Structure 1
Amino acid sequence: MEERKNFWKIWGKFVGLLLAVLALWILLIFICDKVLGKTFEELKYIHYFILLVVIIKVKKWFLKKLDEQDEEEKEMIEK
């Protein structure tokens, strides 16, 4: 039961990070439009690349946390 609780805790952080990434991405689009005077269409490839890279980083963090949790569970079972 404890492992499910830990999984959902990590999952909640993962979803929260994805929502934060989305909010920051929208903020970046707004800043580029207002401050730099460049529209989304002019910089869409840069925006999409940044979004893709950040999502991949968050996914790797999530999978790393799950692997760490699995390692801890295996150590507990061995003891």
Structure 2
Amino acid sequence: MNTFLAIVLVVLMILVVVSLVRGIVAFLKSTKVDLESGEQVDATEMQLAQNRAMFARVKYQALAIAVVAIILAIAN
């Protein structure tokens, strides 16, 4: 059981890093577009992609914390 949970935890940590990188890339692209175009009234597609990536990161982090809590509960 611990081996399975450890594998799940590693997969979740990888997903956190991937979604973080995707969010940062979207942030950099949206910043570049904002600088080139001037003022922005609505949220751009890149900003929406950034929000989706960061929300995914938060979900994966919450799941990883839950897995760690389960591992600690089983260890006691």
Aligned-partner SS, 1:62: helix
- Corresponding residue number in structure 1 for 2:61: 63
Which structure has more relative contact order (CA 8 Å, sep 6+)? It is: 2
Unaligned 5+ runs, structure 1: 39-50
What TM-score results when the alignment is normalised by the length of structure 1? 0.54
RMSD (CA atoms): 3.1
Larger Rg: 1
Q: Deviations over 1:1-30 (max 9, x none)?
A: 111111110000000000001101100110
CA–CA separation in structure 2 for the residues paired with 1:18 and 1:35: 26
Distance in 2 (CA, whole Å) between partners of 1:37 and 1:8 is: 41
Change (3 A) 1:37 1:60: closer
What residue number does 1:11 align with? 13
- For 2:11, the aligned partner's letter is K
Aligned 1:1-79 pairs, distance under 5 A: 1-36=3-38, 57=55, 60-66=58-64, 67=66, 69=67
* Displaced runs of 4 or more, over 3 A: 57-60
- The CA distance in 2 between the partners of 1:12 and 1:34, in whole Å, is 33
Q: CA deviation at 1:61?
A: 1.5
Structure 2, gaps ≥5 residues long: 41-49
Paired residue total: 58
